[in-house]
Amino acid sequence: MTLLEIKNLTITFKTSNDSLIAVDNVSFHVDKGETVGIVGETGSGKTITSLSIMRLLPSNAKVSGEIFFNGKDLLKISEKEMDEIRGKKISMIFQEPMTAFDPLYTIGDQFSEVLFKHENVSKLEAKKRSIEMLKLVGIPEPEKRFYQYPHEYSGGMIQRAMIALALLTNPELVIADEPTTGLDVTIQMQVLNLIKRIQRSSNLSMIFITHDLGVISKMANRIIVLYLGKIFEVGSVKDVIFSSVHPYTKGLIASVPTLKTSKSQKLYSIPGNVPSLKEIKSGCRFYSRCPVRMDICKDNDPKLFEYTPGHFVSCWAVDPNRNLVNTYE
Amino acid sequence: MNENIIKIDNLKVYFPIRRGIFLQTFGYIKAIDGINIEINKNQDISVVGESGSGKTTLGKSMVGLIKPTGGKILYNFNGKTFDMSKQLPIDVRQSIQMIFQDPFSSLNPRLKIIDTLKEPLEIRKLFRSKKEMIDYLGELLEKVGLKREHLYRYPHEFSGGQRQRISIVRAISMKPNVIVLDEPTSSLDVSVQSQVLNLLQDIKKEYNLTYVFITHNISVAKYMGQKIIVMYLGKIVEINDADKLIEKPFHPYTQLLLSTVVEIKSEHAEKEVKIGEPPSPVNIPSGCRFRTRCPFAMEICAKKDPPLSDHEGSLVACHLYSNQKKEISVNNS
C-alpha cells in the first residue's frame, strides 16, 4: 500500500535576479513499511525534498506538484491541518542532534512538549511515555536522563534521543536526514541497527537521506539517486548498487575506497565538480562530467524510463527512445 | 635506507581541567598517555581511532602546535635531530606541514588566496621578485587542478574540495618533508574525496613526502598508509602493516572497529554487535583502558595495563596475547 506519493514535485528558489530550480519534476512513492533511500551529493536537493514534505521550506521557495500522504495532498491542506500531521504522523530525525535540540530546555521538557501538543496528555502520562521511549532506544537510566539537558548527553546518546523523539507520537512516516553523518563509526553502527530494529518492529515507513552508499545499502529497500534536483536512477538496492546503469551512479560507487581497495590502485573519480544550479542550461545535467556523453545529451534532457521491471533510469546512453529524438532541431 | 624521520618517545599530552574563580587544577584529561612511534622516511602512517582517542592531539604535537607534557618528539632533518617542543630554526619548522580537517575554518576568510599563500614565502624571503613568487604559486595551483586567477579570490568563492586543494598548495609550497593530514577528506562529498585522495597520492610521489594520515575511516586509512596505528583513549592498541591489520586484526578494539565498517553490499549481517561507548578521558579505567567494552576482559585487565608487544609480526597491547597471562593463570591454578 502506498503511504506517500510525490508527483512532479518542482521547487524553485527566487533570488534577487534569478530563479533556481532546486528540485526538478521529481516523482516517487513510499510504501507502507518500506525504507526509501535518497543518495546525492551536496546540492542534489535531497534535504530540500524532505523539507517540502514537512512544509518547512523558507518563504522564497515556490513548490509545485503534488505530495499525497494517505491520499491527502499536503500542499493543498491548511496550515492547521498540516500542524496536526507534522510531528505527529510524519516526523523527522535531523543531521546534527546537538543543534536540533534546544539547549535551554531539558530533554524531558522537549519530549513532553510534543506530547502536550499532539495528544492532550497529563504531565505524568507524558513523563511516563517519554521515559519508556528513552528506554526503548537504549538510553541508560532514563528516569535520570529525562531531567538532563542536551549537553549532558554524549554524541551517540543524543542521536538516540533524537530518534526517540521522532518516534514518540507513533508516526507513520519518519524522514531521517543524514542521521549518522558526523558520528563515530562504532556509534554509527549502533544507531543504524537501532533504527532498523525499530522500523521493522513497528512497520514504519522511512525516507533515509544520506551521501554514504554503504549506509544506504544497509538501510534501504529502494534507492533514489538524485543529482542537481533530478532523479537519475531508481530501483531496489540490488538494481541500483550492483547493476547500476547510470554513469553517475557507477562513478559514485567506484569512487569509494573500500577495505579491498589496494594501495597501488588509483581511485576512480568523476571528473570535474558538481556545477552550480545557475550553470545548468538545457540537456542532461550530468553532461559536463559524463564519460559516455553523446551529442543528443547536450540539448535534450533524458526522461526516466523503466529499464528493467522496477528499475528506472534517465540516461540517453541506454534509452531506447533516443533514435526518436531529432538532434538537429 | 630506513632512517627514522620522526621518533616519538613516550609522548604524553595532558590538558588540565580548571574550575572555580582561581582556576585551580582539578585533574587532567590525558589526551595522549605515553606512546612510542617510529616513522621511517617515505613510509606513510595512518592513525585511526574514535573521537577522543587523541589522534588529532598527536598530529598537532608532531608539527609543534601543542607542547608535550612529557616525552619527546624527535625529528630528523638533513642528518640532524631536532626536538619538536623546542624553538626551532624556521626551515626545520616549515619542513613539517599540516593540512586541517575543516577547509571552511582553516583559511582566513578576510584574506585573498594569494595573501594566505604568500605569507610563509615572504617570511623565508625565498623569491627575489613578487612576479617570481606569483608564478610559483600559480604553477602550484594548476598542479592541484585550480587556475592561476584563483589567487585573487576569497575563500568563500570556493567549494569544499577546492578549498582543500588550496590547503594542499599551502602545505607543499614550503617543499616539506612530512605532511600531517588531519581528516582532510571527511567533510567532502564522495566524488570529491576520491579526487583529493588521488591528488594527494600524486603529490606524495612528486615531492617525495612522508604522510601521517589521521582519519576515522579505516578504508581510507588503508588506502593512504603503509602502516596503520590504532589509538584508543590516548594509547596505541595496535600497529601493523595496513594490509595485515585489515586481514588479521588482533586487538579486540581493532576487531570492533573493523566490524562496524558499513560496506556497500547487498546482504548486511543482522547480528547485533555489542559496541558500547568510550568512557570519558577524565576517568580512564584502571588497567587496560578498553576493558569496559572488551568482550574478552579478564581479571588481569583491571589490574595491569598491557604493554605493546610483538605478536605474529603485529604490535598489540592486549593481555590475550601477552606471556604474562600464561604466567598468571599458572600461578592461580
ipTM here: 0.85
Most confidently modeled range among A13-22, A203-212, B102-111, B124-133 = A203-212
How distant, in Å, are the alpha carbons of A320, B62, B73, B236, B280 from that of B58?
Answer: 57, 6, 10, 11, 18
Distance, CA of B261 to CA of A238 (rounded, Å): 20
B256 CA: distance to closest CA in chain A (Å): 8
Strand, coil or helix: what is A111? helix
- Please, are residues A125 and A112 in contact by the beta-carbon 8 Å criterion? no
- Chain B residue with minimal CA distance to A258? B219
A289 CA: distance to closest CA in chain B (Å): 11
Q: Do A274 and B189 touch (CB under 8 A)?
A: yes
Smallest Cβ distance to A42: which of B189, B197, B216?
A: B189
The reported pLDDT for the residue numbered A326 is: 54
A322 touches chain B (CB under 8 A): no
Distance, CA of B156 to CA of A222 (rounded, Å): 37
- Chain B residue with minimal CA distance to A260? B219
| Mean pLDDT, range B302-327, rounded to an integer | 83
Beta sheet of B227-232, edge-to-edge order? B96-99, B178-182, B210-215, B45-48, B227-232, B235-241, B314-316, B309-311
- Whether the per-residue pLDDT at B12 is higher than 60: the answer is yes
Cβ partners under 8 Å of residue B166, min gap 6: B103, B107, B113, B116, B117, B141, B144, B146, B150, B155, B158
The reported pLDDT for the residue numbered B271 is: 63
Give B241-261 pLDDT, tens digit per residue.
999 999 999 999 999 999 888
Smallest Cβ distance to A241: which of B256, B264, B275?
A: B264
Q: Do A185 and B50 touch (CB under 8 A)?
A: yes
- For residue B24, the one-letter residue type is Q
Strand, coil or helix: what is A223? strand
Q: Do A259 and B263 touch (CB under 8 A)?
A: yes
- Chain A residue with minimal CA distance to B264? A214
* DSSP string for A226-239: EETTEEEEEEEHII
The reported pLDDT for the residue numbered B332 is: 44
Beta sheet of A35-39, edge-to-edge order? A90-93, A173-177, A205-210, A35-39, A222-227, A230-236, A311-313, A305-308
DSSP character for A267? P
The reported pLDDT for the residue numbered B269 is: 67
Taking chain A, what is the end-to-end CA distance rounded to the nearest angstrom? 43
**3-state percent breakdown (helix, strand, coil) of chain B, nearest 5:** 35, 25, 40
Distance, CA of A94 to CA of B114 (rounded, Å): 38
| Mean pLDDT, range B271-290, rounded to an integer | 80
CA angle A133, A137, A141 (to 5 degrees): 75
* Phi, psi (rounded to 5 degrees) for A218: -80, -40
| Mean pLDDT, range B50-73, rounded to an integer | 91
Distance, CA of A294 to CA of B253 (rounded, Å): 50
C-alpha cell belonging to residue B80: 640532524
Higher pLDDT, B315 or A328: B315
Q: Do B258 and A259 touch (CB under 8 A)?
A: yes
The reported pLDDT for the residue numbered A272 is: 81
CA angle A238, A243, A247 (to 5 degrees): 125
- CA nearest to B195, candidates A49, A157, A41: A41
- Whether the per-residue pLDDT at B326 is higher than 70: the answer is no
- Please, are residues B127 and B137 in contact by the beta-carbon 8 Å criterion? no
Give A32-83 pLDDT, tens digit per residue.
999 999 998 888 899 999 999 999 999 899 999 999 999 999 999 999 999 9
The reported pLDDT for the residue numbered A148 is: 95
DSSP character for B247? H
The reported pLDDT for the residue numbered B272 is: 65
Give B174-201 pLDDT, tens digit per residue.
999 999 999 998 888 888 899 999 999 9
Neighbours of B234 (CB within 10 A): 26
List of chain A residues whose C-beta atoms are within 8 Å of the C-beta of residue B242: 263
Distance, CA of A249 to CA of A235 (rounded, Å): 12
**3-state percent breakdown (helix, strand, coil) of chain A, nearest 5:** 35, 25, 40
* Per-residue confidence in pLDDT tens, chain A, 329 aa: 899 999 999 999 988 888 889 999 999 999 999 999 999 888 889 999 999 999 999 989 999 999 999 999 999 999 999 999 999 999 999 888 888 899 999 999 999 999 999 988 999 999 999 999 999 888 888 999 999 999 998 888 898 899 999 999 999 999 999 888 878 888 888 889 989 998 999 899 999 999 899 999 999 999 999 999 999 999 999 999 999 999 999 999 999 998 888 888 889 988 888 888 887 778 899 998 999 998 889 888 999 999 999 999 999 998 888 777 654 43
List of chain B residues whose C-beta atoms are within 8 Å of the C-beta of residue A186: 50, 256-257, 260, 275, 277
Strand, coil or helix: what is B212? strand
Please name every residue paired with A4 in a beta bridge, in sequence order, or none if there are none: A30, A69
Strand, coil or helix: what is A46? helix
- Please, are residues A284 and A292 in contact by the beta-carbon 8 Å criterion? no
The reported pLDDT for the residue numbered B29 is: 87
A250 touches chain B (CB under 8 A): no
Cβ partners under 8 Å of residue B55, min gap 6: B47, B48, B49, B182, B214, B231
Smallest Cβ distance to A259: which of B159, B198, B219?
A: B219
The reported pLDDT for the residue numbered B333 is: 38
Helix axes A185-201, B252-259, angle to 10 degrees: 50
Chain A, residues 266-295, CB within 8 A of chain B, namely 266-270, 273-274
The reported pLDDT for the residue numbered A191 is: 87
- For residue B89, the one-letter residue type is P
How distant, in Å, are the alpha carbons of A13, A193, B211 from that of B222?
Answer: 42, 25, 13
Percent of chain B with pLDDT over 90: 58
List of chain B residues whose C-beta atoms are within 8 Å of the C-beta of residue A268: 194
- Chain B residue with minimal CA distance to A191? B275
B149 CA: distance to closest CA in chain A (Å): 18
What are chain A's domains?
2-89+169-324 (3.40.50.300), 104-167 (no CATH)
pLDDT tier for residue B116 given thresholds of 50, 70 and 90? very high
Smallest Cβ distance to A185: which of B246, B261, B268?
A: B261
Distance, CA of B329 to CA of B320 (rounded, Å): 12
A154 touches chain B (CB under 8 A): yes
